[in-house]
Amino acid sequence: MARDDATPAVTLANSDLAQMSKNERIKVESKGLFFVSEKGETHTFLDEMEALTRGETDTISSTAKELSKFFGIYKQQLRGERGKKTDDTFFMVRIKAPAGGRLSARQWAALDDAADRFADGTLRITSRQGIQYHRVYGKKLAPLVRHLNREYRDDGTLSACGDVNRNVMASPIDDLDPVHRVGALELAHAIADELAPASTSYFQIFASDDEGRNAGPINATEPIYGEHYLPRKFKVGIAHAEDNSVDVLTQDVGFVPVVTNGHADGSLFDLYTGGGLGLTHNNPKTAALLGLHLGRVPRGQVVAATRAIAILQKENGERKNRKQARWKYTIRRLGVDRVKQDLRERFDVALEDAAPAALPPMQLHLGWHEQRDGRHWYGVSVQSGRLEGELRKAVRTAVETLGLTVVLTAQQDLLLCDVEDRAALEAILPPQSVSKVRANAMACPAKPTCGLAMTDAENVLPSYVEAIEAAGYGDVDAVIRMTGCPNNCARPPTAEIGIYGYGKNDHVILIGGARDGSRIGTPLYARIAGEDMLPALVGLFRVLAERNPEGLPVDEFLHRADPAELRDWIGIADRG
């Protein structure tokens, strides 16, 4: 994972644009995300959106593809047999939703309407508490984003992707819990506002109605990011005193409220930084890494500390090799002591040296719970976050008729909040009887739409869960997370059982991640064929149910277990 010291990083401080990656040139030449320079010709990003809407083309240029990510847009192609790309091109669009909501009934209606009007009729809840729209075709792309900006929020998809701060996460129970008053929802919005791109390009393109254009002045100035923006994406999360469902150590910047005398009031936070789970197969210089504890900061400096770390990453991050461009590598190259000194002396952050408190566990938040105001909220399990069909219709009906608010969770579920009449809600929702293994399972979309996916995830994980349930192990309390590639968007490395794609039909299976997110799993199978996945997982759950005489929690049992011995019990060899 460590960089060869003989190869210095290419940074803003020591290099010019010619030494940097193509992505860096695209950002600089865009002059604040306005312009697309393609094959020696320059036009505006708006030009490409208008051509799409008129049906003159069905997709965007390769340069516009990179810029579109800053606007929450991913260009995609349908993958056919053996993962080969077809001629069916479309887009994925992701919303911005700090802390996953609270989404009002009006906002939820706008989001729900968009699924049928512009996409494939589903709402895909993400592992970062957002929503994705899939199979958005070219003519409907700009109208979708404009609809979201009018009806949902005025920056509905801005910085949901791209080399900037992504959706800021916080525990979904932050303002619901009757015991702890952390105030993370407000902090998440403050961080999101502080680190949002300042260029007006997004609004020039998408903030108008369908008949006209925003006539406001063009402003390309980026006071925090500058013309290069960040070297790679940047992620922030805030835990709750009793809930680390945001997986705070996997964030570029993470905050954990300090508990004093059994209570957390959000006045002081443990600060972690330098986490991230993406890696590249067969590249030992990349790795899934957990955040490093820097100390404690008062509430009034949470935003300032986050901004300072983003600036340090802007200045010192790798600008040539994008596989080494994440902050998790930058901070380890700079050294923790240097970063702490800069925070204190350069940015005036009151960073207090202290031992970190224990992390809270991941919570699912399903079923009925009492809110701090005496009303109730109900956690709805959504398989792999794909809200569709009868359940989607029932949620819409409940939200509108009962005046509920909605919060999206990091486990791809949703909470229906402000419930005054429990019986009325139960009469609307279809009954849910969900096994522990199904409730804990999470997958990314992967194939056939994601261009990075090597294998399936969402399309196959339900069949694995069904087989585990059919074998009688559905109530084994184990977390399974699965992704189609080692970018690990659904966070498999910190799961008790983590799976990610390797090649066209192989997978990696990790075991022993911690329920509180404090440990990365180790390989049970460095490489296993797709046809062996189902018997391997059923066999692993058989071991969990029948060979744990001490009754250890699953994470601890798997952490202590010898992988070779587990493979012998399962009866399938490692191909790695």
In tens, the pLDDT along 147-177 reads 999 999 999 999 999 999 999 999 999 999 9
User: What pLDDT sits at residue 6?
Assistant: 62
User: What pLDDT sits at residue 2?
Assistant: 46
CA 176 to chain centre: 22
Please state, in angstroms and rounded to a whole number, the distance separating the CA atoms of residues 167 and 492. Answer: 19
User: What pLDDT sits at residue 537?
Assistant: 98
- Scan for tokens 């949901």, then name that residue: 160
User: What pLDDT sits at residue 210?
Assistant: 52
Strands 236-238 and 253-257: parallel
What is the four-CA torsion angle of 464, 469, 475, 479, rounded to 10 degrees? 0
User: What pLDDT sits at residue 38?
Assistant: 86
The single-letter DSSP state of residue 44 is E
What φ, ψ does residue 497 adopt, rounded to 5°? Answer: -130, 110
Residue 219 neighbours by CB distance under 10 Å: 13
- Scan for tokens 């009325």, then name that residue: 424
Tokens of 366: 């399903």
Domains and CATH numbers, the chain: 367-428 (3.90.480.10), 436-570 (3.30.413.10)
Angle formed at CA 178 by CA 245 and CA 268, multiple of 5 degrees: 65
In tens, the pLDDT along 494-507 reads 999 999 999 889 99
Please state, in angstroms and rounded to a whole number, the distance separating the CA atoms of residues 92 and 451. Answer: 11
Measured over the CA atoms of residue 203, residue 207, residue 210 and residue 213, the dihedral's sign is negative
User: Number of helices and strands (H, E) in the chain?
Assistant: 17, 21
- How many CA atoms lie within 13 Å of 374's alpha carbon, on the beta-carbon side? 0
Could you tell me the pTM of the whole model? 0.95
Sites in the chain below the pLDDT cut of 50: 2-4
Among candidates 234, 352, 358, 359, which has minimal Cα distance to 294?
A: 352
CB 247 within 8 A of CB 362: yes
Assign 3-class secondary structure to 528-539.
EEHHHHHHHHHH
Per-residue CA distances from 258 to 204, 251, 297 (Å) = 42, 18, 10
CB 398 within 8 A of CB 429: yes
Tokens of 279: 């890696």
